[in-house]
Structures are given as structure tokens and as C-alpha cells.
Amino acid sequence: MDPLLLARLQFATTTSIHFLFVVVTLGLVTLLVYLQTAWVITKKPAYERLTRFWGTLYVINYVLGIATGIVMEFQFGLNWSGLSRYVGNVFGAPLAIETLVAFFLESTFLGMWIFGWHRLRRGVHLALLWGVALTAYASAFWVLVANAFLQNPVGYEVRDGVAHLTDFSALLTNPTLGMAFGHVVSAAVLTGGMLMAAVSAWHLIRRTADYALFRTSLRIGLVTAMSAVIFLLGFGFAQFGPVGAVQPIKYSNDAAAKSALIADWTARFGPGDYNPPPLAGAALGFMILIGMTLVWGVFLLPLLFRDWIIRLRFPLYLILLALPLPFVAVILGWIAREVGRQPWAAYGLLKVSDAVSPVGGGMMLASLIGFSLLVGGLAVANWVLLARHAHRGADDLALGRPPETDGARPDPVPEPVLV
Amino acid sequence: METVWYALLGLFFAAYLVLGGYDYGVGLLLARDAGPAQRRESLTALGPFFLGNEVWLVAAAGILFGAFPMLEGELLAGLYPAVVLALFGVIVVTAAVQLRSRPASDRARGRWDRLVTAGAALAALGWGAVLGGLLQGVPLHADGHVAGVGHVATPFAAATALATVALVAVHGASFLALRLPGEAAERAARTGRRLVPVALATLAVAAVVGALSARVREAVQQPYPTVLLVAVLAGALLVAGRALARRRHGLAFTATALALAVPVLLVGAATWPYALVSTVDPAASLTVADAAASGPTLRLLSWLMAPLLPALLGFQAMCWWAFRGRIDGRTPVYW
């Protein structure tokens, strides 16, 4: 089989799965920062329980984010060595910064946060969560800096057949960066809020004992999601201008600009099909449709008054049914942005066919099947565990359990020595 | 400046092998633990360090990509099967350690624990094969690309892969001897002591196979430092065995940590001044200077790294300090 197609499929598979987990990571950590800060300030035990419950789901979800993230990073070298060879001097820098500034610290902080309950001082423990959140946002930013360069290469010059960095600030002011970052962050916060509201709705529908806890998180989740959806649409539509200007074939209706660009590419790279696949446009349309659907949720906000949203019950079902929508939309958004720039690995600079590693079809197929099964299987296992823990509710959580009370835990605690 | 960044790349990868190494060692030794309680105890010893250990790999890959883009593509694509094997292992361990305690039943946890062990073995085998693959060179052609993947599968790469598994297992045992309480620490130390001769034997096999392989002899540019570092590695293992017998667990851990850091230094020193040695065309070998990113990129990354490196090391040190000592009844249990 064609190694190029296989390499693209592998990238699409791992990225999509990665994206499904990182939007939840980014969204939930934002809400956790609110919950734990509220706990430290007000000292109300309700906020501690909320932090522990949503923290448990956050930490389970984080597992696949990190696992797929590792695959993503190595995939560039494994399958796309032409990319690092040609634009690595420019494209590699933001990715290196992402791993060092953001991801490295994020995981270090998170490890201490998970095990730091009852061990570190409250302020330090809260600061760790703030650190996790800030580095998570930094991570999203630097990944998008790298992606924006591939969408619209800037700040470089080609010498001896290799791109060299000339202006780093141009990478940061890339017209395909700013609005896209706002859009992705809004999508993440929306998804986190929707997840929180939907899980709470599930418990309220089933009338579990924890009414007060899930009432609070329903309100927080819904208000967050509906605030985010406004920004989501704003940043989304704001992208048409700048992206249309640099990628007229993707979103613009300017026929003259399109044909001029195709003529330019044909002159430089030879004749070929430079139109993006129709899939990209279809994905864009459906994504906008989902956004427009979710925005109707703002009409649920007045129902928060006197808990009508819970008493009427049908809004709870609506929230539950809407949960898959943001996940579908982020995949569609990825397709619109990334498939929409085909056939380019770096727009107008390097085609995907020149970027793919000279690895044989058989090897690439084995790698695709292996990674898809592994990552897909782990993703399903992860979702099952997430669903079970969401269903189980906030009683006897492992995260933040005080060490003295052994609870219903079957494991014996190690005996103290060397005291 | 390229040399500094090459050293930094080596530092991060060596730190990953040392820190991730005991994650995998503990994972391998889960197979030895008798019951669910013992396995949980081992994972609790790993506890807060686990996430902070795995990120050294990601950071090393980041430096490889940012500072050595030429090397990144050819190294990873050139050693494709070994890297994929290692990544499989890393992903399985990373996910399985974090998820194993989320199901409530001991049976489900037991299944995840077997995945931890399998993933740890794969990761150690894979990185061992990558190190061996670097020492035996790759068929790098003048056009800058590596042809084929069959060149990785040699007796030498297999020997280095097995030696790495043995090293990692000893390291895991010395970590557990340092972290577990009382009798459990003694048991880990006994396991470690029994594993030292095994590790020495695999190391000897790898050294002999390497010395007999014409490819390795040609790829090694600096024979004296190479032999010296192999001796240091063997010496570290001997010291670790002695220290475990005398219950000097801190010294034993230091020695096994050294034993896992040395292979990275060995590969870097043996092939110097090359980063990637070509087996088909000596002129196509990639020197460290040629592999590095161009001046502006390295300057940018250096300005960033100068203030950042102390912060990265500081936060890692904070984690080690906050959770130092043997585990006891008050240790948070989560994995």
C-alpha cells in the first residue's frame, strides 16, 4: 500500500484520539482551578469533594492525553522525516519549547498534585494545580504556534534547500495563530463544561443521594459551557478573514486569488491537484452546525433560577444528549483545518508526498495497525473507566483520600518503619 | 554551541533512562511480587515520581527535534522498528500504571499489572536496541536518507536490548530497596543481588558480540573511551551488588543509576564526532555539527534554556524532596 496514505491515516488517527482527550484535560483543569481555589478560600468541605470528584475524572482522562502525546511527538521523526529535514530549524523550535516549558512541568506538577493531598501545605498544593493549568494552556499555545507555521510558513528563509529561522516574532504573530488559539481554548472549556454538566445531569436524573454536589456542578458546568460557546463562535468566525487571506483555497470565495495561487504553485511545483478534498468543506459545515446548535443552550440558563432546570427534568436529558456534540465538533474542526491544507505539509513550501519518510509500505502498515489498535484500545478502556467513575459518584474517592482512614479499601497499608 | 546542546540532549536522555529506568524496573519486578498487596506496595513506592520520570523522554525528544532536526528524522526513521517497539512499551506502561488501580477488582488490576510488566519489558528492549543501533551505525546514504529497516535486526542490537532489560531490572530492585519498608526492602535487595550477575553476563555478551561485529568496530570512532566506559558500567554493577549485600541501599541506587546513565555517554563518546554513523558511505556520516539546527534556532533555544533549566531541575528536585524517604502508613496511595 501507499506509505503516504498510511502515514497520513496514522497521523489522523493518533491526532484525533489525542485531541479528544486534551480538550477535556484543558477544559476540566480550568474548572478544577476554580473549584480548588474556592475550597482553599472558603474552606467549605463541599468544594473539597467537588475537587476530588472532578479531579479523579481529570486524572483518568489525562492518562491517554500523555500516552497519545508521546506517539504524536515521535511520529514526526518516524513518519515525516522530510518535514524535520526541510523545516525542522523553524518548526522544531516551538515544539521543543512546548515540551520543555509546558509539558515537562505540567506532568511534574500533576504527579505532585495527585500525591500531595494531606502531605503538602494547602497553598502549595493549590499552586501546583495552578501550575498544571497554566502549563497546559502554554502547551496548547506552543503546539498551535508550530501548527500555524505549517498552515502559513513565516519568519524563515530557504538557504541551501533548507528553511532557516529569521524572525521568531513572526511565528508568534502568525495570522493563522491568534484566533485559532482562542477558538481551540474556547472549545476545550466548552467541552469541559459540557462534560461536567452532563455527568451532573445523569446523577440528577437518577436522583442519587448527592443532590447538592451535583446541583452545584451542573450550574458551574452549564454557565461555563455557555460562556465558552459565545467565544467559540466569535473566534471561529473571526478566522475566516485572516485564514482566507493566506489560504484562499481553503475558506475564501475569491476566485481570482484561488486561480492566482494555483498558477503560482503550478509554476513552482509542477502541475497537480491543489484543491483540498471536499471532506474539509463538509467538516467545516457540520462543525458550524454543531456550534449553532449548542448556542441554543443559553436559553437553559434562565432555568437555573429556582432550579427549574432540575425540576422540569427535560433540560437534564437535553444536556445529556448533547454531550457527544462538542467531541464530534473538535474532530470536524481538526479535519477542516488540517485536511483543508492538503496537499501541503508546510503550506506552499513542502508537499506531504515529499515530507513522508522513506519507509516501506509494509512497515508503515504494521505501524498504523499496531498503533491504532493500541491507542484505540487504551482509549476505549479509558472511557469505560471514566464512565464507571462518573457513574459511581463522589463517595470514597481514591484521589485525596486521607491516609489514616483505611475505608473500604481492601489493600493493606504498608507498616511504618524507620520512624 | 552544538556541543553544548548535544550534551544537553545526552543529559536528558540519560536522565530518562535513569528515572524511567526504575519505573520499568519496578514494572518488570511486579511479575516477581507474590500478591496484589505487594504489587500495590511497589507501585506506591513509584508514586509521585512516575509522571515526572516519563517526561524526561518527551523533553529529550523535544530537544532532538528543536536542536537536531536533521538527526531527528534520520535517527527515528532509520531505527524505525526499535523506536516503535520502545514507544509501544512506553505507552503501555504509562497508561497501565496510571489506570491499574481504577478498576476495583483484584483480577482486573492483575491484568493491568501484567500489561505494566509487558510494557516495561518492551520499552527496555526497544531503547536498548536503539542504543545498539546507534553503535552499529545505519545505512545512511549521501542523499541524507536511511534506506530500509532490516539493518537494525542484528545479534548486537539484540544483545544490547537484553542487557538493557537486565540493567533496568537491577535498577528497579535497588530503587525498591531504597523506598520500601522493612522486610520488603530486604526482599528487593536480595532480588537485586541475584540479578547483578545476570546483568554482568548480558553486558559481557553484548561487549563480545560488539567486538566481533565488523560493523560495530567500524562505527566506533573512539575505541579507548568506549572500552573504558564499558569497564565503568561493569564496575558500577559490581559496586551495586556489593552495596546491596551490605545494605547500603543509597550507594547501590547511585551505582545502578550510573549504570543506566553510562550507556548514553558511551554511545555519544564512541561515535564522536559523529551523531549518526553511516555503514555504507563514510562521507555520509552525520557529524554533530551538521546534525544541529542552524545558528538562529540554537541561539533562541539557548536564551530560553538558560533560565529554564534550573527551574526544570528545581521542580523535579522539589518532587524528590517532598516525597523522600521510605513509604509508610501515611504515604498517599493512588496508582
Q: Is the pLDDT confidence value at A98 over 60?
A: yes
Q: How many A-B residue pairs are in contact by the CB < 8 A criterion?
A: 275
Q: Is the pLDDT confidence value at A46 over 60?
A: yes
Confidence (pLDDT) at A404? 63
Do the chains contact at A93 and B66, CB–CB below 8 Å? yes
Domain positions in chain B: 21-292
Q: Mutating which of A21, A63, A104 best tests the B interface, going by the most B Cβ atoms within 10 A? A: A104
What value does the mean pLDDT of chain A take?
91
| CB of B105 less than 8 A from some CB of A | no
Ranges in chain B, pLDDT < 50: none
Quote the CA–CA distance of A215 and A221 in Å, as a whole number.
Answer: 10
Quote the CA–CA distance of A290 and B64 in Å, as a whole number.
Answer: 40
CB < 8 Å from B in window 23-62 of A: 59-60, 62
Contacts of residue B100, Cβ cutoff 8 Å, sequence gap at least 6: B43, B109, B112, B113, B115, B116, B335
Secondary structure percentages of chain B, helix, strand, coil, to 5: 80, 5, 20
- The pLDDT of A333-338, averaged and rounded, is 94
B95: alpha, beta or left, given left = phi > 0 and alpha = psi -120 to 50? Answer: alpha
Confidence (pLDDT) at A418? 39
pLDDT band of residue A219 (cuts 50, 70, 90) is very high
The grid cell for B187 is 526482599
| CB of B2 less than 8 A from some CB of A | no
- Reduce the DSSP state of residue B140 to 3 states and report it: strand
- The pLDDT of A229-254, averaged and rounded, is 87
Task: Please list every residue in chain A whose beta carbon sits closer than 8 Å to the beta carbon of residue B323.
Answer: 112, 115, 119
Q: What is the pLDDT of residues A64-75, one digit of tens each?
A: 999 999 888 898
Residue B47 has what DSSP assignment?
A: T
- The pLDDT of A280-308, averaged and rounded, is 92
Q: Mutating which of B76, B151, B186, B320 best tests the A interface, going by the most A Cβ atoms within 10 A? A: B76
Q: What is the pLDDT of residues A31-40, one digit of tens each?
A: 999 999 999 9
The residue written with cell numbers 549504570 in the block is B259
Confidence (pLDDT) at B283? 87
Task: Please list every residue in chain A whose beta carbon sits closer than 8 Å to the beta carbon of residue B147.
Answer: 358
The grid cell for B23 is 519505573
Q: Is the pLDDT confidence value at A13 over 70?
A: yes
Using CB atoms, pick whichever of B73, B92, B319 lies closest to residue A85: B73
What b/e readout covers B146-166, taking b as 16+ CB neighbours within 10 angstroms? beebebbebebbbbbbbbbbb
Quote the CA–CA distance of B76 and B67 in Å, as a whole number.
Answer: 15
Q: What is the pLDDT of residues B160-194, one digit of tens each?
A: 999 999 999 999 999 999 999 989 999 999 999 99
Do the chains contact at A96 and B331, CB–CB below 8 Å? no
Using CB atoms, pick whichever of A74, A81, A96 lies closest to residue B63: A96
CB < 8 Å from A in window 315-334 of B: 315-316, 318-319, 322-323, 325-334
